[in-house]
């Protein structure tokens, strides 16, 4: 696998890129001195020692003292589990102690970047209580298959408008021609998300709970479904 991807994932757990490079070096090579790490990575010794100290403090490396101090990488499973455990505790504290928030504005929010959009979609799916209307390419549905199957298990009405049968079991499935890399999502007739899902940083979606916008959006999806029924009569489960 491309090490760049591994480095990016490590950075997601709070490491700087330099610390991630050094951690990966330790992980592959075993116990190393700061000098050896510097030689392996090409990073200056002064920067290496600073990063090694940070990694040890963060629970990502062990210091083995001896005539020459050496460092060992903590196993990736142990390191990740420890970080997640700490974050769960911090989450519990914040959930209990955050001050009361004002009601959100009844307007429009722009969400940028494929990762941020995906996270918002998953959050919306998890919070759904009654019904979900989702219009998107089949490939995108497959990328969130686990979350959609969890929705289905909760007995929530799930309607897909898509270009292929993904094998995920919605309440209703409407098959149409090849869809553009766009999404239209309505949750409980209250919240809407729509926009581009090409998979890049330039992806942009609009999120809103504005009533008039939601009503117009619902009507547009109803019309799309009616058109599919008229032209193809394709409703697998109805």
The DSSP call for residue 3 is H
The domain containing residue 62 runs over which residues?
3-78
Q: How confident is the model at residue 236 (pLDDT cuts 50, 70, 90)?
A: very low
| Inside any domain, residue 165 | yes
**pTM of this structure:** 0.74
pLDDT for the residue 207? 95
Percent of the chain with pLDDT over 90: 70
Residue 109 pairs in a beta bridge with: 207
Q: Average pLDDT of the chain?
A: 90
- Supply the pLDDT for residue 233: 52
> How many alpha carbons fall within 13 Å on the CB side of residue 130?
6
- Three-class SS string for 58-127? CCCEEEECCCCCEEEECCHHHHHHHHHHHHHHHHHHHHHHCCCCCCCCCCEEEEECHHHHHHHHHHHHHH
Assess if residue 114 is contained within a domain: yes
Q: Provide the pLDDT for residue 169.
A: 78
Residue 35 belongs to a domain: yes
116 with 203, same domain: the answer is yes
In which band, very low, low, confident or very high, does the pLDDT at 237 lie, cut at 50, 70 and 90? very low
In a domain, 119, yes or no: yes
CB-based contacts of 123, cutoff 8 Å, min separation 6: none
- 64 within domain boundaries: yes
232 pLDDT exceeds 50?
Answer: yes
Shared domain check, 131 and 59: no
Q: Are residues 10 and 69 in the same domain?
A: yes
In a domain, 170, yes or no: yes
Give per-residue pLDDT as tens, 113-158. 999 999 999 999 999 999 999 999 999 999 999 999 999 889 899 9
Strand, helix or coil at 20?
helix
Residue 85 lies in a domain: no
Give the pLDDT score at 238: 43
Q: Are 9 and 116 contained in the same domain? A: no
Which residue do the tokens 């919070």 mark? 127
Tokens 């903590």 label which residue?
74
Q: Are 15 and 57 in contact (CB under 8 A)?
A: no
In this prediction, residues 25-36 reach a mean pLDDT of: 93
| Residues 113, 224 within the same domain | yes
The DSSP symbol for 175 reads E
Find the CATH number of the domain harbouring 141: 3.30.870.10
- Count: domains in the chain: 2
Asked if residues 152 and 169 have their Cβ atoms less than 8 Å apart, the reply is yes
pLDDT 10s digits, 172-200: 889 888 778 999 999 999 999 999 999 89
């Amino acid at each position: 696998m491309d090490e760049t991807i591994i480095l990016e994932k490590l950075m997601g757990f709070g490491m700087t890129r330099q610390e991630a490079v050094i951690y990966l070096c330790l992980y592959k090579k075993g116990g190393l001195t700061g000098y050896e790490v510097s030689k392996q990575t090409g990073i200056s010794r002064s920067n290496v020692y600073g990063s090694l100290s940070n990694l040890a403090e963060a629970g990502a490396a062990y210091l083995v003292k001896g005539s020459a101090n050496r460092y060992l990488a903590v196993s990736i499973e142990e390191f990740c589990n420890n970080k997640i455990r700490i974050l769960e505790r911090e989450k519990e504290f914040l959930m209990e102690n955050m001050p009361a928030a004002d009601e959100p504005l009844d307007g429009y929010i722009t969400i940028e970047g494929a990762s941020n959009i995906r996270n918002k979609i998953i959050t919306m799916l998890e919070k759904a209580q009654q019904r979900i209307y989702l219009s998107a390419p089949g490939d995108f549905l497959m990328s969130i298959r686990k979350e959609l199957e969890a929705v289905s298990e909760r007995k929530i009405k799930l309607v897909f408008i898509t270009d292929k049968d993904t094998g995920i079991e919605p309440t209703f499935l409407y098959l149409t021609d090849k869809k553009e890399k766009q999404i239209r999502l309505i949750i409980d007739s209250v919240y809407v998300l729509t926009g581009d899902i090409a998979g890049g940083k330039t992806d942009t979606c609009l999120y809103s709970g504005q009533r008039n916008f939601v009503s117009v959006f619902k009507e547009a999806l109803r019309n799309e479904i009616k058109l599919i029924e008229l032209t193809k009569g394709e409703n697998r489960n109805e």
